[in-house]
Amino acid sequence: MSEDAVLVNVEDGVMVVTINRPKAKNSVNLAVAKGIAAAMDQLDSDDSIRAAILTGADNTFCAGMDLKAFVTGELPMIKGRGFAGLVEKLPQKPLIGAVEGFALAGGCELALSCDVLVVGDNVKFGIPEVKRGLAAAAGGLMRLPKQIPPRIAMEMALTGDFISAQRAYELGLINRIVPAGSALEGALEMAKTIAANGPMAVLASKRVVVESGNWSEEEMWKNQAAIVDPVFSSEDAIEGSKAFAEKRAPNWKGK
């Protein structure tokens, strides 16, 4: 694996994962998939890391699968994790997408795999696989209609046409639009806010939001309790309340 295909930097509890193939518009080959998978393993196994950001080098997020590698028989898949080492196994900790330029095909599917998105105002989103005789099988066809109105998702899937950052924001696909070139800065600001919160509370909150969509009315309260009750009985819950009363920053222990 090329050591430069993916760059990983950790500072102040925040990991930044950068797809580093700017000459190929950060398209995903096997080296990128291995690099992202390794970063996600590190994210979830290192208690000092509270959140991660996925971005692309040189003001482009990701143009999708490397088609030149694909025609030679190389597939950018990791067993158990799928395309780009991410889309079939998402991290337990928060993952923020810092998106610039283009998020197309597999690149759009990577963005859809993030928990929140901070996007430059020049970004284009799309799943244009049908224009190449392919299908958006890395989660686009399944995740997109859950994140925007299904009829709009259907239109994007069948036409392969792009939408702008503003349209994506109006549809509720993204969280924040920032001036082009400042998506990483905006994502870092959000990540630092998340990292300052109670780590157990953050993990439990993400888990409930992700899993509750499949819960029935009869089981939802029991399922939520199983996840959040340990948070309420934790040392961090006491510390958070004390810190609030004493008007100071909490000292989280993660237990």
Is the model's pTM score more than 0.85? Answer: yes
* pLDDT on residue 16: 98
Looking at the annotation, which residues are catalytic?
109, 129
* pLDDT on residue 1: 41
Residues 175/100/121/102 CA torsion (nearest 10 deg): -100
Instruction: From 2, 52, 53, select the one nearest 23 (Cα to Cα).
Output: 2
* pLDDT on residue 207: 97
- CATH number (3.40.350.10, 3.40.50.150, 3.90.226.10, 3.40.1800.10) of 6-195 reads 3.90.226.10
Environment class of 147 (CB within 10 Å of its CB; exposed 0-12, middle 13-18, buried 19+): middle
**Tell me: the pLDDT tens digits for 96-134?**
999 999 999 999 999 999 999 999 999 999 999 999 899
* pLDDT on residue 200: 95
Q: What three-state secondary structure class fits 7?
A: strand
The token duo for 59 is 């003001």
Instruction: From 146, 154, 149, 151, select the one nearest 210 (Cα to Cα).
Output: 146
Residues 6+ apart with CB under 8 A from 118: 96, 97, 98, 99, 174, 175, 176, 178, 183, 186, 187, 190
Task: Please list the pLDDT of the chain residue by residue as tens digits (255 residues).
Answer: 445 899 999 999 999 999 999 999 999 999 999 999 999 999 999 999 999 999 999 999 999 999 888 888 888 999 999 999 999 999 999 999 999 999 999 999 999 999 999 999 999 999 999 998 999 999 999 999 999 999 999 999 999 999 999 999 999 999 999 999 999 999 999 999 999 999 999 999 999 999 999 999 999 999 999 999 999 999 999 999 899 999 999 989 888
